[in-house]
Amino acid sequence: MKAFLRRRIATPLLALLSRGVAPDRLALSVAIGIVVGNIPILGVSTALCTLIALAFGLNLAAVQLAQAAMAPTQILLIIPFVRLGEWLTHAPPQPLSVAGDLALIAHGAGRAMIVLWRAILHAGLAWLLVAPAAIYVLYKTLTPVFTRAAAALGARARAEPIRGPDDRA
């Protein structure tokens, strides 16, 4: 699992840093990808991430990479977001389960939306309230991490000799 995460997430993000993406912009791109990747409405995160990245000039690859990595947690967070939304609106709890909801979705997304529309509204409301704070906390946490990583990449690049076309490795 560690090798998978390094190969599929860390290495591509470090490559973006080495290509000149500013650490703070990369941190914001990843933070938005993580938070939007956990939106409790299935099927909208990819398009929403693309729109946000293009609108704010963020690194689309980083946003989409983070968003895609959130697929497992997106499913796990749907019910907590529904429950938070129900609590916020003082609505009675609906009977929900991950297995039951996935089975409903398997019969068609349209049918699932009709049956679960209140749950989707509650979950969306809760996510809208949590998302700005989550983006802020992730951005503030990731900025120093990416700043240190960029400094380490720069130090490594300065330490390596520059090779010309006639030099042999």
CB proximity list for 42: less than 8 A, separation 6 or greater: 74, 78, 105, 109
Backbone region of residue 52 per phi and psi (left: phi > 0; alpha: psi in -120 to 50; beta: other values): alpha
Specify the pTM. 0.82
- pLDDT score, position 161: 62
Measured over all CA atoms, what is the biggest interatomic distance in the chain, rounded to whole angstroms?
74
Please list the rounded mean pLDDT of every run of 10 residues in the chain (169 residues).
80 87 96 97 94 96 96 93 95 80 75 80 97 98 95 77 57
- pLDDT score, position 11: 86
- pLDDT score, position 168: 56
DSSP structure class, residue 40: S
Backbone region of residue 20 per phi and psi (left: phi > 0; alpha: psi in -120 to 50; beta: other values): left
| Residue 45 CA from chain centroid, whole number | 9
Tell me which residue of 47, 41, 46, 55 sits closest to 127, measured CA to CA: 41
- pLDDT score, position 117: 87
- pLDDT score, position 166: 60
- pLDDT score, position 160: 67
- pLDDT score, position 163: 60
